[in-house]
Copies of this chain bind each other. A is one copy, B any other.
Amino acid sequence: MEKITVKAFSTSANLGPGYDILALAHNAFRDDLVMEKNPNSPYGSIKIIADGVPEEVEKNSAGLSLLKLFRHYGIKESVKIHIRKHVPIGAGLGGSGCSSASSVTAANELFDLGISRNELLKFAMEGESAASGSPHPDNVAASIYGNLVCVNSLNPPDAANINIGTDLGLLSIIPDVQIPGKTRIARSLVPKTLPMEDHVENSRNLSSLITGFITGNRELIRKGMNDSLVEASRLSMFPYYTPIRESALKNNAVGVCVSGAGPTILIMYDEETNLAGVEESVGHIMNGTGLSYRKTYSVPCEGMEIE
């Protein structure tokens, strides 16, 4: 095989109470990454052709994760990577994570390396730190495993995979703001300690959310998708979040959360939700902020497709 194409989807981490634990892959956006062998290039080189993201290997999450994997496995061949980047960067939709995950997956296929998913997760996490400054596993785990993931451990990295099916629709509200160093700022706002009762309360929400996802119980998801810990600490970054959340829940949305470190807001809905009502109130709220925004409709999906 001389060439491999990986289609990688957007992902949303945290989902309310699941900070650094839960993430969900969905088909709101898709990157295409084509990796081909490049025999005329110098020994072990990686060339990236991309639009809108850095082409310098060590500054690109696809390049950095691949570099670490090449070094670890002593890969001596050279590759050329074309990235058609559609998953937005800096929107809280796993943009850097899916690049990172798709490049190590493509190399695994192209060179028939037989690397396990957890090992791929490890390299992809390291690559993502190029973008966020700290390796965190949730988005890349959703890209590699697909659907809903629940990160079990960091060292060694491991995640459980939970299929929540496609009965839930996902409406993403993507404000047109770029906050430089956003993920670092968002992480710095999270309190360093918390009272035990907040831990118990948040763990109750997380338990309800996971149970709801696995058993398809919308009331448990609705009850569980509540976070007074991490989201609450970041409210100043997303002043539109609270009113969107309140109005969507009034319109019987299944759940509302900040997607990853934001600014995207993710609204889960089903056939009981008054979706027109949600859209109308989101329009009013976002117009009031003066920010332009996009919205997308999607469903949970596999993290990537390999061709």
- List chain A positions with a Cβ less than 8 A from chain B: 17-22, 150-153, 158, 160, 162, 190-196, 199-200, 202-204, 206-208, 210-212, 214-215, 217, 220, 223-224, 229
Contacts of A18 in B (CB 8 A): 203, 207
Q: Are B199 and A202 in contact, with the CB atoms below 8 A?
A: yes
Q: Quick one: given A220-B152, A220-B160, are A196 and B192 in contact (CB under 8 Å)? A: yes
Q: Quick one: given A160-B211, A192-B196, are A202 and B204 in contact (CB under 8 Å)? A: no
Q: How many copies of the chain does the oligomer comprise?
A: 2
Q: State in angstroms the CA–CA spacing of A207 and B150 once bound together.
A: 7
Quick one: which of B190, B194, B208, B229 contacts A152, CB cutoff 8 A? B208
Q: Are B207 and A21 in contact, with the CB atoms below 8 A?
A: yes
Q: Are B191 and A196 in contact, with the CB atoms below 8 A?
A: yes
Q: Quick one: given A207-B21, A210-B211, are A195 and B192 in contact (CB under 8 Å)? A: yes
Q: Quick one: given A150-B211, A211-B210, are A203 and B200 in contact (CB under 8 Å)? A: no
Quick one: which of B22, B193, B194, B207 contacts A206, CB cutoff 8 A? B207
Q: Given A160-B220, A210-B211, 7 other A-B contacts at CB below 8 A?
A: A21-B204, A152-B208, A160-B208, A160-B212, A193-B194, A193-B196, A207-B207
Q: Are A151 and B204 in contact, with the CB atoms below 8 A?
A: yes
Contacts of A214 in B (CB 8 A): 211, 214-215
How many whole Å from A225's CB to the nearest CB in chain B?
Answer: 12
Contacts of A200 in B (CB 8 A): 19-21
Of all A-B residue pairs in the complex, the 5 with the closest CB atoms, nearest first, are: A150-B207, A152-B208, A214-B214, A199-B199, A193-B193
How many whole Å from A122's CB to the nearest CB in chain B?
Answer: 16
How many whole Å from A24's CB to the nearest CB in chain B?
Answer: 14
24 contacts between A and B (CB under 8 A): A18-B203, A18-B207, A19-B200, A20-B200, A21-B204, A150-B204, A150-B207, A150-B211, A152-B220, A152-B223, A158-B223, A160-B208, A160-B211, A160-B212, A160-B217, A193-B193, A193-B195, A193-B196, A194-B199, A199-B199, A202-B203, A206-B207, A210-B210, A214-B215
Contacts of A223 in B (CB 8 A): 152-153, 158
Q: Are A196 and B195 in contact, with the CB atoms below 8 A?
A: no
